[in-house]
Amino acid sequence: MLLGMLSGCGNDSAMANLGGPTMGSTWSIKYVRQAGAPAPAEVQDEVEKILAEVDQQMSTYRSDSDIERFNQLPANRCQKMPASILELIRVGEQLSEQSEGSYDLTVEPLLNLWGFGPQAREEKVPTAEALAEVRQRVGHGHLRINGDQLCKDAAVEVDFNSIAAGYAVDTIVAKLDALGIHNFLVEVTGELKASGKKLDGSSWRIALEEPRDDQQVAERIVAIDGYGLSTSGDYRNYFEQGGQRFSHTLDARSGAPVSHTLASVTVIHPSALMADGLSTLLLILGPERGWDYAEKHDIGAFFVIRADTGFVTRSSHDFARISGGKTE
């Protein structure tokens, strides 16, 4: 959902540009090369190891991943999990509780039912009976951590797609810092974090995309240093039936796609993981509840709302403070 990472960094020979495929999309890193730092090939190798581990642990598109093996278990079973997965489960629990259950990591059966998940068969509005049956297998309350094990008391299925990329960004950032690389822009499937400055001393600048499905237009440009940034929107993955539009963004409380006027929301947060999860949470909550949540929890959030005349934008106080913009 991010339009692009704006360049203009001076002497490109002193910049390293890395990238490749991951999670059905791509990743990229730009960083300032300094004396004593590892060669770009070594950095590439370290990043690819991190991304391969995240995929092995958290992908819902491979049957042998840690989380898919857990998803295939019946009710009342436990499975030993790596610490990273347990960390994300705890983050999901926090966001679920704070959103009164609207955000939930166990929505995979609902995503499949509506045609948006990894096991989806057809994009269509499900019957009331099918929806009622699937909703019995959704809810973070069905999960429990017992030591190094993840347990479930119903046949729930966990989906990390709303936070896995943010987690990957934070993990890569930690590795870059350990390697002595401190001026960089890291992006994984659109989630990103920047630190330090470019070669010319200017900040890393990010263009936020206007939520349109016909062309790419920059809605806002922000400069970031030490922050993660994530944008979630409903305008790329949807289907239409009976003249009504159904988005892939689901409210776990209703079991149905959201139907409000919030088209996209961007979150700036010190943690890319939290920016990733919070942008999804706010998109689910919508323009009013999402705004109240962002203000209550001091979240830097930029809302793009559909109106009769086009789009209306609104920035939370923290977003305005960080980006130097206005709140309305």
Is 225's pLDDT higher than 70?
Answer: yes
Q: Is pLDDT larger for residue 198 or for residue 215?
A: 198
For residue 93, give Cα distances in angstroms to 103, 141, 189, 299, 320.
9, 8, 24, 18, 28
pLDDT value of position 322:
87
**Strand runs labelled E in the chain:** 2-6, 15-22, 25-32, 77-80, 143-146, 149-152, 184-188, 191-195, 204-209, 218-224, 227-233, 238-241, 244-247, 250-251, 256-257, 262-269, 300-307, 310-315
**What are the structural domains, with CATH classification, of the chain?**
2-55+164-323 (3.10.520.10), 61-152 (1.10.3980.10)
Two structure tokens written together for 108? 């995979």
Residue 52 CA, chain-centre distance (Å), reads 18
- Look-up of token digits 């960094």: 9
**CA neighbor of 268 nearest in space, from 245, 218, 302:** 302
Q: Are the C-beta atoms of 105 and 96 separated by less than 8 Å? A: yes
Is 27's pLDDT higher than 50?
Answer: yes
Two structure tokens written together for 107? 């929505």
Mean pLDDT over 14-29 rounds to: 95
Contacts of 298 (CB under 8 A, 6+ apart): 318
Q: Is the pTM of this model over 0.85?
A: yes
pLDDT digits (tens, 9 = 90+) for 181-196: 999 999 999 999 999 9
pLDDT digits (tens, 9 = 90+) for 283-320: 999 999 999 999 999 999 999 998 888 889 999 999 98
Measured CA to CA, the distance from residue 255 to residue 123 in angstroms comes to 15
